[in-house]
C-alpha cells in the first residue's frame, strides 16, 4: 500500500530533517574492565584489544573517572543527551575498597546505560544473588574466565545495548516525525 492510497495523508518527506538528527551509528564496542589485580587487567586488555576498545581501571575511583572522561553527547531526533560512551562494564567482585556490586550500585544513577557484567568466585555467589538484582547485572562469570565465553558475553551485552539503542532511536524518530507532522 502506498502513501497516496492512505486517506488524509499527504506524502511526507522527512528524510532530510530526520537524517540530521539521526544518531551516530554505534561504533566499536567499548568495554571497561575493573579489577584490583593488575595482571588480570593486562590479560583482559591483551585478549580483547584487537576486537574492542578496552579501558582498564584498578579501582572504583579510576573506573568512575574513565566513565566521566568518555562522556559523549548524543542527539537522537528529538532529544539530545549526554552519556558515557562505554558500552559494557566488566568488574571483579572481590576488591578491597569497593566490591563489584557496590560499584555497580554506585554508578546506577549516573551511568545507567552501560551493560554490567560481574566476575566472581563461586564462594561469593550467595552474597551476590540478591545484589545482582540490586545492581541490575546482566551476567556473571566465574573466575578463572574462559576467553571465549567472556567474549561471547561481552558481545551479547553489546548486542542488547545496540538493540535498545535502535529501539530508542525508532521511538524518537517516530516522535520527531509526529512532531514534524504536527508542525506542518
Partner 1 sequence: MRSKVIIFLSIVFYSLSLKASDTIIYEGKEYMIGTYMTIFEDTNSSYQPEDFLTEKFFVNVEGKVPNLRVSNSTFWLKFSIKNLSDKSTLLIKIASPNIDKLKLYEAINDTAVNLLADLGEYKPFSERFYNYPDYLIKLKIPIEEEKTFLLSVSSNEEILLPISIGDEILIIDKENYKDQLISFYIGIMAALFLYNIAIYILVRSKVYIYYSIYIISVLLAQLALLGYAFELIWPNSMWMADRGLLLTSVFVGVMALIFAKKFLQVSNHKKLDIGIIALIVLYAIYTLIILIDPSKFNYTLIQITALLVSFYLLYVSLYIYYIAGNKEAVFFLIAWTIFLIGVFIYALKDLGILPYNNFTVYTMPVGSAIEGILLSLALANRINVLQKEKEIAQQEQIETIQNQADVLELMVTERTSELTKSNEELSITLKNLKEAQTQLVGAEKMASLGQLTAGVAHEINNPINFVTSNVNPLRRDIEDLQLVLNKYESIQPDDELKSKLEEIEKIKKEIDIDYVREEINILLNGIQDGADRTAAIVKGLRNFSRMDEDILKKTNIIEGIESTLTLLNSSIKNNIIVEKQYDEVVEIECYPGKLNQLFMNVLNNAIHAIDDMGYKNKEGKILIKVSVENGNVIISIKDNGGGIPENIKQKIFDPFFTTKPVGKGTGLGLSIVYSIVKEHNGKVKIDSEIGKGTEFIFTFPVGK
Question: Using CB under 8 A as the criterion, which residues of the chain lie in contact with partner 1 when the complex forms?
Answer: 37, 39-40, 42-44, 46-47, 50, 94, 96-97, 121, 123, 143-145, 147
H or E element in which residue 56 lies: strand 53-57
Closer to partner 1 by CB, 22 or 43: give it.
43
Closer to partner 1 by CB, 36 or 78: give it.
36
CB of 132 to partner 1, least distance (A): 20
Looking only at the bridges linking them, the beta strands covering 71-76 and 79-84 are antiparallel
Closer to partner 1 by CB, 141 or 169: give it.
141
Closer to partner 1 by CB, 7 or 96: give it.
96
Rounded to whole angstroms, how far apart are CA atoms 18 and 172?
10
CB of 163 to partner 1, least distance (A): 28
Phi, psi of 141 (to 5 degrees): -140, 145
CB of 45 to partner 1, least distance (A): 8
Among 139, 135, 134, 104, CA closest to 119: 139
Closer to partner 1 by CB, 83 or 94: give it.
94
Beginning with the edge strand found earlier in the chain, give each strand of the sheet holding 139-142 in spatial order.
53-57, 30-34, 88-92, 115-120, 139-142
CB of 87 to partner 1, least distance (A): 21
CB of 124 to partner 1, least distance (A): 9
Q: What angle do CA 76, 78, 84 make, to 5 degrees?
A: 35
Rounded to whole angstroms, how far apart are CA atoms 119 and 40?
11
Amino acid at each position: 500500500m502506498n502513501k497516496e492510497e492512505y486517506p488524509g495523508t499527504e506524502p511526507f518527506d522527512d528524510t532530510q530533517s530526520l537524517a540530521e538528527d539521526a544518531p551516530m551509528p554505534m561504533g566499536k564496542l567499548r568495554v571497561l574492565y575493573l579489577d584490583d589485580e593488575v595482571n588480570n587487567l593486562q590479560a583482559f586488555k591483551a585478549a580483547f584489544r584487537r576486537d574492542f576498545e578496552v579501558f582498564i581501571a584498578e579501582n572504583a575511583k579510576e573506573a568512575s573517572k574513565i566513565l566521566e572522561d568518555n562522556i559523549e553527547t548524543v542527539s537522537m531526533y528529538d532529544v539530545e543527551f549526554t552519556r558515557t560512551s562505554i558500552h559494557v562494564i566488566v568488574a571483579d567482585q572481590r576488591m578491597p575498597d569497593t566490591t563489584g556490586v557496590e560499584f555497580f550500585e554506585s554508578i546506577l544513577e549516573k551511568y545507567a546505560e552501560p551493560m554490567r557484567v560481574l566476575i566472581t568466585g563461586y564462594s561469593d555467589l550467595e552474597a551476590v544473588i540478591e545484589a545482582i538484582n540490586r545492581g541490575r547485572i546482566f551476567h556473571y562469570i566465574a573466575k578463572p574466565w574462559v576467553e571465549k565465553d567472556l567474549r561471547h558475553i561481552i558481545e551479547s551485552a553489546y548486542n542488547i545495548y545496540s538493540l535498545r539503542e535502535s529501539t530508542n532511536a525508532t521511538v524518537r524518530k517516530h516522535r520527531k516525525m509526529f512532531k514534524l507532522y504536527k508542525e506542518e
